[in-house]
Amino acid sequence: MSIHFAAAKPAGLTATSSPGAKILVARAQKRVANDNADFAERSQNNDRVMRAALRHFATHGMGAAKVAREQAEKAFFKGDRDTYDWWVDITRTLDRRVAASVSGQTEPLSSTPGPGAR
């Protein structure tokens, strides 16, 4: 997992900078590590989820998001929606990209037959 940092106002790159510099700054800011800035707006249980995510991270370290994703998948396939939502919130707090992969992996399969199907 790579971590990218981008300063809010990089030194030497201002509104009067070249268009190329503006593009570089915009690209860097899209990859910033703090990608959960709007989390408080999405969850009324922000403090509770944040505490649980921090405890989970303390237990599992850098693999915490993956473990939380696995828990969310287990709950999804058992049909336990509340537990699924809980683990997705924890996963999202730890790593939004991993949380997005939960949705992608647990979507119903397409009704179109795959290659080799008759």
pLDDT per residue of the chain (118 residues) written in tens, 0 to 9: 666 666 666 565 565 567 777 787 777 777 666 655 555 455 456 788 899 999 999 999 999 999 999 999 999 999 999 999 999 999 999 998 988 888 765 443 334 444 444 4
Question: Which amino acid belongs to residue 24?
Answer: L
* Residues 24 and 45 reside in one and the same domain: no
Q: What is the CA radius of gyration of the chain?
A: 19
* Residues 100 and 48 reside in one and the same domain: yes
* Residues 10 and 43 reside in one and the same domain: no
* Residues 23 and 52 reside in one and the same domain: no
- Within-domain flag for 114: no
Give the residue numbers spanning the domain of 10.
Answer: 1-34
d(CA 97, CA 105): 12
pLDDT of residue 116: 47
pLDDT of residue 16: 56
- Within-domain flag for 46: yes
Read off the DSSP letter of residue 45.
T
- Within-domain flag for 45: yes
d(CA 112, CA 108): 12
d(CA 34, CA 38): 10
Q: Residue 106, class by beta-carbon neighbours within 10 Å (0-12 exposed, 13-18 middle, 19+ buried)?
A: middle
- Within-domain flag for 118: no
* Residues 52 and 88 reside in one and the same domain: yes
d(CA 66, CA 1): 12
d(CA 83, CA 91): 12
d(CA 101, CA 112): 21
pTM: predicted TM-score of the whole model, two decimal places: 0.52
* Residues 50 and 94 reside in one and the same domain: yes
Asked whether the beta carbons of 14 and 55 are under 8 A apart, the reply is: no
The domain total for the chain is 2
